[in-house]
Amino acid sequence: MVIIMLGAPGTGKGTVAGILKEKLNIPQVSTGDIFRKNMKEGTKLGKLAESYISKGKLVPDDVTIDIVKNRLDEKDVENGIILDGFPRTVKQAEELDKILESKGKKVDIVVNLTTPKEEIIERIVNRRVCSNQDCKTIYNIVLNPPKKEGICDKCGSELIKRKDDNVETVEARLENYFEVTSPLVEYYEKKGNLYSTMVSKTINKLGQDVAKELVEKLKNK
């Protein structure tokens, strides 16, 4: 099963994808995590990615497509994958369709999350992420704080604030998202595999609630 997570930064894609990974037992692959790992290690790819990400811009299509193509060749994703952060442009979506077709697969469902802009900014500024790459649990120090400040409930690792989780970068990322990525909603809507839902405290519906709905939907598919 191939699941794609769509939505602007801060809509809860990582939270929903993490729960789906656990409940459906298929790997979650985040291009952002791959880039951050390389940035931390100071690799050539990491330096290239940082030059774009630090300004709130998207990493070029060709670089991202190659990374995902290589990841899809790995054994652990043979029975399914949750793509979080890819595709981000129609070109990437078209290339993904070709890659999957060559493997006799297709995109099964595209989960599109929406959240009001002011709520997105509030969430991202207050977001903390587990530093353990095998855990990567996401917290919000206002909405979903850890039991012990600065420490992950699940594995006991330190919680960190991402460098790009600030108001200026978030606003740039949102502007970029709506300009470049939102056409993907129309692309997948035409294909008939889009599932859109709002994630917002104003309607008392958070990522955990969406994930629960999706697990039921996909298990009965």
Catalytic residue among 23, 91, 162, 205: 162
CB 165 within 8 A of CB 181: no
Catalytic residue among 13, 21, 123, 128: 13
* Edge-to-edge order in the sheet of strand 138-140: 138-140, 127-130, 159-160
Handedness of CA 188, 189, 193, 198 (dihedral sign): positive
CB 59 within 8 A of CB 67: no
Active site residue 71: no
Active site residue 128: no
Catalytic residue among 36, 88, 123, 128: 88
Specify the residue for token string 């054994």: 75
Quote the strand ranges of 157-209, DSSP E: 159-160, 194-198
Specify the residue for token string 């206002």: 142
Handedness of CA 158, 163, 165, 167 (dihedral sign): positive
Catalytic residue among 21, 123, 127, 128: 127
DSSP letter assigned to residue 113: E
* Nearest partner of 89 among 216, 13, 188, judged by Cα: 188
Indicate which residues carry an active-site annotation. Answer: 13, 88, 127, 162, 173
